[in-house]
Amino acid sequence: MTNLPHAFGGPPLRGVLRSTPEDFFVDEDLGFAPDGAGEHVFVRVEKRGSNTDWVGRELAHRAGIPVHAVSHAGLKDRYAVARQTFSLHLPGKADPDWTALAHAEFRVIESARHNRKLQRGALKGNFFRIVVRGIEGERESADKIVEEIRAHGVPNYFGEQRFGRESANLGKARAMFAGRRVQRHERSLLLSAARSHLFNAVLAARVERGEWNTPLDGDVFMLAGSHSIFGPEPLTPKLLARHVAGDIAPTGPMWGAGELRTRDAVAELEHSVARQFPELAAGLVANGLRQARRSLVLRPSELTIRWLPDAGAELSFNLSSGSYATVLLREIFDYRSAN
């Protein structure tokens, strides 16, 4: 992530992230409520300093069910305070007494029945409240960048979590593509890292050209709030107005087999990036992935910054699912993590 270009000239502030878990708060929004009946129990928890899979195992143990009967919409940061929902498959069983479950690392907030299990990715988005401490730099410049982000969003990079510590997953992906055998659960992780790297490289090239949030001839667009895509089509005044309003955004490739949907200079740019990483592009195709698209633009909602005593700043914002809070933070802060 340190090598990816910034959209607004680079962060004007330096500071420390995750001084305590409470400094990184995330609240998951499924976008729907359980219907109150069914074989699945939706359990909403608040966890502190613990990872999602461990909490899932603890819930399974308490309910007396196998771990594979527990699901969640997505992983949440370990070094954080996070609220998220798990679903437990309990056909013909009574709801456990969650009040008897005492853990320093998490607590059950509420539970309710639902007729379907919670699927991976089945959430609307997340609310974040993040505190950065020990700030040095130009606050006035930071305020201006916050205004730019409100108006234009930020490049929708995949965050460092996607690639593992020191980007280790990319090296493992290359080894897998060269013939190294990996376990099934690791394979998916490595394919995602390789695909995300190619996307980030295309987006970085457009950021360097100042075109990451500019519709170009040959672009394919994504509708805001969905994964529906359309185009290419002529850049009419109506289309450009929809882009300015945030209704649509240009997209980049999630690499795989099949023809690129983009055309002209946009397609050439995407092909040229793939040629820079032939082993990743070929490996994704060989492993059966198909071409898909992802928005180049991440638009947070309700973004605010509040300056705190003792050189601190608190940011609050909502992000859609599949996006990363750290790619917003990096536009404002050159931060280091305390954990």
How far apart CA 129 and CA 305 sit, in angstroms, is 10
The separation between the first and the last C-alpha atoms of the chain, rounded to the nearest angstrom, is 17
- Which H helix or E strand runs over 313? strand 312-320
Phi, psi of 325 (to 5 degrees): -65, -30
The question of whether 77 is a catalytic residue gets the answer yes
Q: What is the 3-state secondary structure (H, E, C) of 242-300?
A: HHHCCCEEEEEEECCECCCCCCHHHHHHHHHHHHHCHHHHHHHHHCCCECEEEECEECC
Give the Cα separation of 310 and 320 in Å (integer): 32
Please give the structure tokens belonging to residue 45: 């928890």
Instruction: Give the 3-state secondary structure of residue 108.
Output: strand
Q: Which residue has the tokens 């997505």?
A: 74
Set 23, 77, 143, 310: catalytic member = 77
Residue 187 contacts residue 328 (beta carbons within 8 Å): no
| Cβ count within 10 A of residue 90 | 18
Q: Which amino acid is at 120?
A: R
> Which residues are bridge partners to 82 per DSSP?
26, 47
State yes or no: cis peptide before 232, omega within 30 of 0. Answer: yes
Return the SS3 of 151. Answer: helix
Residue 280 near residue 177, CB atoms below 8 Å: yes
Q: Where are the beta strands (DSSP E) in 67-116?
A: 70-72, 81-89, 106-114
User: Could you list the active site residues?
Assistant: 77
